[in-house]
Structure 1
Amino acid sequence: MTGDLTRILTHDLKLPADRLTDDASLDHAGFDSLAIVELAVLLTDRCGIDISDSDIKDAANLGQLDLLITTKRSGR
């Protein structure tokens, strides 16, 4: 996972760092519906990424979420 995503998840969303591995599901990492909405807003505000709640929910794990964010950042 990229450092930016890790910082957002640990500092802003207060998710436990020991659960943030690439293969961790969103549930295992500590996401709830509010955290998903907050992450979408933070990514839009801080990174200029247009990402929806459903895009985030569709990620099978944090590694896929990180890849999605990286792809959206690069405009692909």
Structure 2
Amino acid sequence: MGVYDEALTMITTWIETNMGLPADTVSPDARLAHLGFDYLLGEELSTAIEMKFGVDVLDTMIEEGATVGQLAKAAASAS
């Protein structure tokens, strides 16, 4: 499993755990806003990504309609 796949799995699992959406229904093309993200959820996910991958994902990226796949790519870029 590559770093991108690991990041994607981490993010979709986080969404499942914290938002109650089944991970297998969250596609890489899904926009976080369409999944129900608000500022607080964005902060929490950003912190989780930073703790796991050591990269600070810009909160604005989350707020500006990033997709799950774009976040995974940003997280993977640190490795």
TM-score of the aligned structures, taking structure 1 as reference length? 0.70
The answer for the alignment partner of 2:11 in structure 1 is 5
Deviation, structure 1 residue 69 = 1.2
What is the root-mean-square deviation in Å for CA atoms of aligned residues?
Answer: 2.1
The answer for the alignment partner of 1:69 in structure 2 is 75
- State which of 32, 53, 68 in structure 1 corresponds to 2:38: 32
* Aligned residues between the structures: 72
User: What secondary structure, in the 3-state scheme, does the structure 1 residue paired with 2:49 have?
Assistant: helix
State the identity as a percent: 29
Relative contact order (alpha carbons < 8 A, sep ≥ 6): 1 or 2 greater? 2
Q: Residues 54 and 15 of structure 1: is their aligned pair in 2 closer, same or farther, counting only changes over 3 Å? A: farther
Could you tell me which runs of 5 or more consecutive residues in structure 1 were left unpaired when the two chains were aligned: none
Q: Residues 46 and 64 of structure 1: is their aligned pair in 2 closer, same or farther, counting only changes over 3 Å? A: closer
